[in-house]
Amino acid sequence: MGQSPQLGRALILVGAMLIVVGVLLYFGGKLPFRIGRLPGDIVHRGQNSTFYFPLASCLVISVVITLVLWIINQFRR
């Protein structure tokens, strides 16, 4: 019985994160910045292929996720 509240909180948190990601994807074209097309993303176009490595986008997403998880951890204490 002790696991039910923790599971409930985890499911609510996952649901909230999915809603945020869904909203960002839905309104992504209207945002002033484009994740995946930031300065620092590496794109090399050859004759028959394209190599794309979103370095700056990965760093931005990592920082945002780290901050969100840090804030959540501060509220849990």
73: pLDDT confidence band, cut at 50, 70 and 90? confident
pLDDT attached to residue 24: 75
Q: C-alpha 35: how far from its chain's center?
A: 10
Three-point CA angle 59, 33, 71, nearest 5°: 50
Joined tokens for residue 55? 């370095």
pLDDT, greater one: 10 or 66: 66
67: pLDDT confidence band, cut at 50, 70 and 90? very high
